[in-house]
Amino acid sequence: NSGQFLELLPESGLLDIDGERIAYMSKDISTGILQIAPNSRGLHGTQERGHAAGTSVWLVDSRGFTVLTNDVEASDSIFPVEDSSGFSARPLLLLGDELIHTPLRARDGALAMPVRRPLPDEASSSSDGGEGLLRGRFGTLPAAHIVGTPVYSMPHRFEDRWIENSDSPAGAWAEFSFDEPNAYWRGLQWGVEIPDSSIRLHVQARAGEAEWGEIPEDTPGLIEVEERPGPDGLIPLGLHSDRLDLRFSFDWGVGAFDPVDFLSTGWLEMPVLKEVVLDYFAESRVERREEIRE
């Protein structure tokens, strides 16, 4: 009977009923009724429709699934869930139309992520710091989610860890450093393979004592390098220092992921940084000296 069938199901889960994906948030064994989670009909690009008595109901158990046990805001970093045991250590999660990374676990089993920390001179400011750093991944937008919202794992090859104006280890970048006393860093060029128009390359250059987490427009010695090459093919830098640091980061923007019909493939594509060329002027240096007497 239905009660015996429901005993075999988890407290919340994902069902396939005649080709329609439906998420439920609770079950009542005594009545044989499943409580459908908010906005959880026609998931994963399927169509919401009616179903006749006797239609087969299948449990979709190929991915981690749970529901929120409390409301979360668009900037929250902790996601209280019914059960996190079915998820990998670093899952990519879909909540509504938003993708998030949760590489951390709270003591109560809640899924979590690192938060933005204020810069030292802004430690007393409540306007900077505290928000989750890995919200709105792969071009989705951070949003508030209510209790009962389905939380399920999405397959992924790599993580979207571009974080604007942040030096947090939660981010990802390729960094190159060059030391030349009293050098003039004239220009830069690079070769990159970008397989989808939703993917963008961010390049920052730092000279002097600037901090990576600061805003380039307000920080001397820290610039966001725009791909606007001059007549010689170089992208101008115009920096003068003993050391230059470069950071290259990829960002998956709007259109990389389609949470409605699941037709976009940008979030599954991998960009490649193939080469970096730096042009600079500096004093000649003797790397090795050998004196021979006969």
Domain boundaries, the chain: 2-59, 174-281
Model pLDDT, residue 229: 81
What count of Cα atoms within 13 Å lies in the side-chain half-sphere of residue 215?
5
Model pLDDT, residue 127: 47
Find out whether 81 and 67 touch, Cβ atoms under 8 Å.
Answer: yes
What does the alpha-carbon distance between residue 273 and residue 240 come to, in Å, rounded to a whole number? 26
Q: What is the dihedral sign for C-alpha 172, 173, 179, 182?
A: negative
Model pLDDT, residue 86: 86
Q: What is the pLDDT along the chain (294 residues), one digit of tens a residue?
A: 666 778 888 889 999 999 999 999 999 888 888 999 998 999 888 999 999 998 988 988 878 899 999 999 999 999 999 999 889 999 999 999 999 999 999 988 999 999 988 766 655 454 455 899 999 999 999 999 999 999 999 988 889 999 999 999 999 999 999 999 999 999 999 999 999 999 999 999 999 888 998 999 999 999 999 888 878 888 999 999 999 999 999 999 999 999 988 999 999 999 999 999 999 998 887 778 888 887
